Structures are given as C-alpha cells and as structure tokens.
Amino acid sequence: MQVVREMTIQGGVAIMVTAQKLPTIVNGVNVDNLFTTIDAIKAVPAIAKFKFRIQNRWEGCGHNRSAINGFYGAGQELSRAKSFVLHADEPTVLLGEDSAANPVEYLLHALAACLTTSMVYHAAARGIQVEEVESSFAGDIDLHGFLDLDPNVRKGYQGIQVTFKIKADVPDEKLQEIVELGTGHSPVFDSLTKGVPVSVKSERL
C-alpha cells in the first residue's frame, strides 16, 4: 500500500494531508508490485536469475516423492514457510498402485498451471480483466517407445492438445490474443516446445 501526501489549504493555512493509496489489483495480481519488480530488474539485471530445486526419493515400484522448499532468486537463497511434497505413482494398468498422478500427468499439470499463470499475469499488466479460465490438456504416448519395442517411436509425448475457455469482457477475436499471452511468456511452454539441456550424473548413495 502506497502513502500519498497532498497539500490542501484550509482557512488560509497550508495543511499536509497523508492518505493511503490502495494497490491496483487486476486478476488478483498486484499490478503496482509487478511493475516495481520489472523496474527493479531493469536496474539490477542480476536479480532476474532464479534456480528452482527438488529432492526426490523412490518409495518402491512406481511410487516416488519429491520435496520442495528452498530456491535461489533475487540474488539470495530463499525458503518457504513449509515444504511441499509431491507424490507420483502409476495406474494399475501400468503396474503401479495408483496412489498418485503419474509423471507425464504432472507434466500436463505443470504446462496448464504455467500457461494459466503467465496468461493472467500478462493480461493484468495490460489492464485486461479476466473473470474465469478453464482448460483441458491431453497428451498422446505410445508405449512402443518406452518398452524399446520400436526405435522409431519416441518415448515421450507425441503431441499435446490444449483448449482454453476464457470469460473476459473482450470481443471473441481477442480471446486468442489472451491465450497467446500465456504461450508467449510461459517458461514451461518454452521448455517443452524449444527443448532445454538436461545434464544427468550418478553418485553412490
């Protein structure tokens, strides 16, 4: 919340009045803070560097879990008030115990979450009020690749289909532009569609 000081004249006497200016909120995003962050990065580019981390442990069969807490950003190590734990498993048809979503479903969730957040943030920065967003994601995988039955079949998704439904006070032709604010700025979408180097090493436990 910003503090605004204004001068007013009462009875020929100048009086300083202090008032609090409410933050500008669009789509639940504090736009004032958003632009403050942008200005800070322009002034000190190094604070834009972030590194996110997880720690994963195998629990048996198709079940493993990841713990998430600390990360590096804004020039310092940061930690959350509590850790998050994400469990992953496989459905019974894929020999798991179906105790949690499987990794490729988490990938769809990560893509959905990142596209939605990116879309909403960048719409807010442009003053576009978004009332509701729903989306559906589906991905196609052929187990011939995972099981080494056909070297010509890739092991990952062969394609992902995405549909967004948006409620906003804009013409229909502007809806796609709002969606493209997500695809044009999402780190997960960028990582999936453009690829990202992944280095893997092994150590003895």
pLDDT score for 17:
55
Distance CA 65, CA 84 (A): 10
**3-class secondary structure for 76-120?**
EEECCCCCEEEEECCCHHHCCCCCCCCHHHHHHHHHHHHHHHHHH
- The overall average pLDDT reported for the chain is 93
SS3 at position 1: coil
pLDDT (0 to 100) of residue 62: 97
Q: State how far the alpha carbon of 202 is from the alpha carbons of 16, 46, 98, 199, in Å.
A: 66, 31, 28, 11
Mean pLDDT over 34-60 rounds to 96
For residues 13-41, give the mean pLDDT: 83
pLDDT computed for residue 21 by the predictor = 75
Nearest 10 degrees: CA dihedral of 142, 143, 147, 152?
A: -10
Q: What is the pLDDT of residue 6?
A: 58
pLDDT reported for residue 75: 95
pTM as predicted = 0.87
- In this prediction, residue 22 carries a pLDDT of 84
Q: 20 pLDDT exceeds 90?
A: no
Q: What percent of the chain has pLDDT over 70?
A: 90
The pLDDT value given to residue 7? 55
Q: What is the pLDDT of residues 146-189, one digit of tens each?
A: 999 999 999 999 999 999 999 998 999 899 999 999 999 999 99
Q: Residue 65: exposed, middle, or buried by beta-carbon count in 10 A (0-12, 13-18, 19+)?
A: middle
Residues forming a β-bridge with 9 = 14
Give Cβ neighbours of residue 161 (< 8 Å, ≥ 6 apart): 137, 138, 139
In the predicted structure, residue 5 carries a pLDDT above the cut 90: no
Q: Which residue would you say has higher pLDDT here, 22 or 47?
A: 47
